[in-house]
């Protein structure tokens, strides 16, 4: 990578809630930080001894060897960066949210302009940046990670380079957060609404919920192993066992005045798996009705 003369350690593009938190964490870790936002007043609001607002995006990118782009979408990042055709000597890190295909296209776009590229997926809220409460996964250039990992780790100690395949951080984010965490918490909203509404004390619920989390942790490990190996045999509990155990459960919740959509989808999947002849296999065999083509 070509070196470039710079005045700052890091540039952050995009000064919304998350971008501002990233900039402050970097400055708090001792880095000099240039900041830019399409509406300048947001960048100007961050100004202090270690945070310098820039009016022109070209100046902001030229100011530092490491540039973090934090926009709502990949299209917004492309639109902001388009006026800067030459990114030679820059390591560009995009921490926005996008589909894996968008990540791959963005990585190619950055490479064509001479940048080393890392894609980052943030697992956490702005208030957790700078703490162990957040995690950031990075994929892409291993050389760029080796050069700038120390700076990026200031965003959270749980900063991990996961793969040279640029889309992997996004795949993990889509899978673990979008497809797993959000539906799981949504299911807990339904479940706790039912339990608290039936007279369970919150202190009791808080005390026993970790046992369910422990079961989830052990079960997810078995699921991943089964899907990776293709072996869905079990001597513990079959899909039909789960389906029979939940028979009538929807009616119980509806009688309580609830409309449990996530729970209903779970039962729908189990029923479809039984109908597909998978009832005598383990829970992970539902992958066969999820995979199409």
* SS3 letters across 167-229: CHHHHHHHHHHHHHHHHHHHHHHHHHHHHHHCCCCHHHHHHHHHHHHHHHHHHHHHHHHHHHH
Poorest-confidence range of 3-17, 21-35, 59-73?
3-17
- Kindly tell me if the per-residue pLDDT of 49 is higher than 90: no
Mean pLDDT, the chain, whole residue set: 94
Q: What's the pLDDT score for residue 4?
A: 67
DSSP tag of 8: S
pLDDT digits (tens, 9 = 90+) for 219-262: 999 999 999 999 999 999 999 999 999 988 999 999 999 999 99
Please give the average per-residue pLDDT across 50-76, as a whole number.
96
According to DSSP, the residues that pair with 122 across neighbouring strands are 136
- Kindly tell me if the per-residue pLDDT of 161 is higher than 60: yes
Q: CB 90: neighbour CB atoms within 10 A?
A: 26
Cα dihedral 118, 119, 124, 126 sign: positive
Query: Which architecture characterizes domain 179-290 according to CATH?
Result: Orthogonal Bundle (1.10)
- Kindly tell me if the per-residue pLDDT of 19 is higher than 60: yes
- pLDDT category at 40 given cuts 50, 70, 90 is very high
- pLDDT category at 98 given cuts 50, 70, 90 is confident
Q: Which of residues 291 and 2 earns the better pLDDT score? A: 291
- Kindly tell me if the per-residue pLDDT of 1 is higher than 70: no
Q: What's the pLDDT score for residue 163?
A: 98
Question: Domain-by-domain residue ranges, the chain?
Answer: 10-163, 179-290
CA 187 from centre of chain: 19
Is 273 in contact with 246 (CB distance < 8 Å)? Answer: no
Is 42 in contact with 21 (CB distance < 8 Å)? Answer: no
Please give the average per-residue pLDDT across 124-150, as a whole number.
96
- pLDDT category at 116 given cuts 50, 70, 90 is very high
Do the two domains 10-163 and 179-290 of this chain adopt the same fold? no
- Kindly tell me if the per-residue pLDDT of 291 is higher than 80: yes
Query: Which architecture characterizes domain 10-163 according to CATH?
Result: 3-Layer(aba) Sandwich (3.40)
- pLDDT category at 3 given cuts 50, 70, 90 is low
Q: How far apart are CA 64 and CA 165, in angstroms?
A: 25
- Kindly tell me if the per-residue pLDDT of 292 is higher than 80: no
């Amino acid at each position: 990578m070509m070196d470039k003369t710079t005045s700052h350690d890091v540039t952050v593009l995009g000064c919304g809630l998350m971008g501002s938190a990233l900039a402050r964490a970097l400055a708090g870790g001792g880095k000099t930080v240039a900041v830019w936002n399409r509406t300048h007043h947001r960048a100007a609001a961050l100004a202090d001894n270690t945070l310098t607002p820039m009016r022109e995006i070209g100046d902001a990118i030229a100011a530092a060897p490491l540039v973090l782009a934090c926009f709502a979408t990949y299209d917004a990042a492309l639109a902001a960066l388009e006026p800067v055709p030459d990114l030679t000597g820059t390591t560009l890190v995009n921490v926005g949210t996008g589909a894996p295909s968008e990540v791959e296209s963005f990585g190619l776009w950055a490479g064509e302009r001479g940048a080393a590229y890392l894609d980052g997926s943030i697992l956490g809220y702005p208030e957790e940046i700078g703490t162990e409460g957040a995690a950031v996964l990075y994929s892409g250039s291993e050389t760029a990670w080796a050069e700038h990992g120390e700076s990026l780790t200031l965003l959270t100690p749980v900063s991990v380079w996961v793969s040279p395949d640029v889309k992997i951080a996004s795949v993990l984010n889509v899978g673990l957060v979008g497809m797993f965490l959000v539906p799981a918490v949504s299911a807990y909203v339904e479940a706790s609404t039912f339990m608290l509404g039936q007279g369970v004390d919150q202190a009791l619920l808080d005390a026993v919920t970790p046992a369910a989390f422990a079961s989830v942790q052990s079960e997810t490990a078995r699921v991943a192993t089964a899907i990776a190996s293709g072996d869905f045999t079990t001597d513990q509990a079959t899909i039909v066992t789960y389906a029979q155990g939940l028979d009538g459960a929807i009616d119980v919740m509806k009688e309580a005045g609830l409309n449990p959509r996530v729970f209903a989808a779970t039962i729908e999947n189990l029923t479809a798996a039984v109908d597909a002849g998978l009832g005598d296999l383990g829970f992970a065999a539902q992958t066969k009705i999820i995979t199409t083509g």
